[in-house]
Amino acid sequence: MPRFVLAAVVALGLSACSDDPEEVTPDSGTSVDAGTGADAGTDVDAGVDAGTDVDAGVDAGAGSSQGSGKLGCTSTGSVMTDAGTLSYCVAKVGDTEMKIIEPQVGVAPGPMKLAIYLHGDGAATYTGSNPRALFDIGGWTYGHNTLYVAALAPNKCAWWTNPARTDCKGDAPVEARDLEGKNAASLVQVIEALRRGWDIQDGPILFGGSSGGSIQLTASFLPRYGDRYPGIYALSCGGEKPWTGTLDWDATKASLRGPTKFYFTYGDLDPLLPDIRTAEDYLKGFQFPVDDKVITGAGHCAFDQVGRVWEVWNAATTAP
C-alpha cells in the first residue's frame, strides 16, 4: 500500500484536519457529571476477547433485537445541540468507551435505528471540551428515532491503528495498522451490547467516520463483518480498500450485500484522495451503490466533515 504512509502522516499530523477543522462551534457548554454512576440498567460483560471472531448474525430484514435494560453509565453529561440541550451517557464495552444519546421518546413508534460514529485521529471530536461528535450529530438522531453512539478508539486516539499502541503522539507508521482486526471485533462487541440493551431495528446500521475512522470502516470492519451488519456508510475524508486485499465474505451475492450503501465526501486537494478513489472503485466492482461528493479546493477534512455525516444519514433514510 504505497500511499498509506502518507495517509497516516496526514491523518495524524494534521490533527485539526482529521478531527476538528476551523469551524465555529455553536456552544462550548458541554457539562459532564463524572461523579455520578447513573444506573441505566444492565451493565455489559466486558470480558469478551476482542481478538476473537464474533458471529452475531444480524438479519437485514424486518424485525428488531428486542433488547432492553440499556447500558450502565460510568458518568453522564449534557450537550447543546440543534434539538436543545441533550443528556448523554458515558458507557464502556470491553476496551471501547462511548457516549450515547437516546432518541426523543415518542418521536416514532416501534424499534429505533442505530447510528455509530468513529472519530478521526486524535479523537478531538470525542474528547474535546466541546465534542462536535455529539452536538453536530446528536440533534439529528434525537429527532429521528435513532440511538446515537460516538465511540472512542480502544487506544484512545486512532481507530485504524493497533489497540495496543500506547504512544499516540506524532505520525503513526504503516506498521501500526490493526491488521488483526481487533478494533473491528471491538466494534462488533459494541453493536451487540447495544442491541441487547435497546430494541434496535434489524435494518442497516448508520455508520459514520472521519479520516482514520473512515479508513477503519472500509479497510477492516467491512471486509470482516459487512455481510452481518449491513449499513449506510457516511465516510468523510477517508477510506481505503481492504488491507488484506479481499473480503472475508462473498460480496458478489446481492443477498449478502443487502441494503449497504457508501457515501464518500472529500476535498479534491486531499492527499488521501488516491486511496479514497481506489476504495470507491473497489466497492463499485462488487456492485455496491457508491456516491461521492467532492469539495472543490478543499484539503484533508477541510470542510464540515462531522456535520456531513448526519446530512448523509438524513438523505439516505428519507429518500423514497
The domain spanning residue 149 has which CATH number? 3.40.50.1820
Residue 27 pLDDT exceeds 80: no
Contact 190, 93 (CB under 8 A): yes
- Helix ranges, 1-130 (H): 4-13, 15-19, 124-127
pLDDT band at 320 (very low <50, low <70, confident <90, very high): low
* pLDDT score of 174: 84
- Whole-model pTM: value is 0.83
Contact 292, 266 (CB under 8 A): yes
CA dist 79 and 137 (Å) reads 11
Q: What residue type is 121 in one-letter code? A: D
pLDDT band at 62 (very low <50, low <70, confident <90, very high): low
CA dist 42 and 218 (Å) reads 31
Walk across the sheet containing 113-118 and list its strands: 31-33, 75-81, 84-93, 96-101, 146-151, 113-118, 205-210, 231-236, 261-267, 290-295
> C-alpha grid cell for residue 115?
447510528
Residue 8 pLDDT exceeds 90: no
Instruction: List residues bridging with 67 in a β-sheet.
Output: none
pLDDT band at 54 (very low <50, low <70, confident <90, very high): very low
Domains in the chain: how many in total? 1
CA distances for 122 relative to 6, 22, 119, 209, 308, angstroms: 17, 15, 8, 13, 19
Q: Can you give the residue range of the structural domain that contains 55?
A: 4-318
Contact 115, 316 (CB under 8 A): no
| pLDDT tens digits, 219-247 | 999 999 999 999 999 999 999 999 999 99
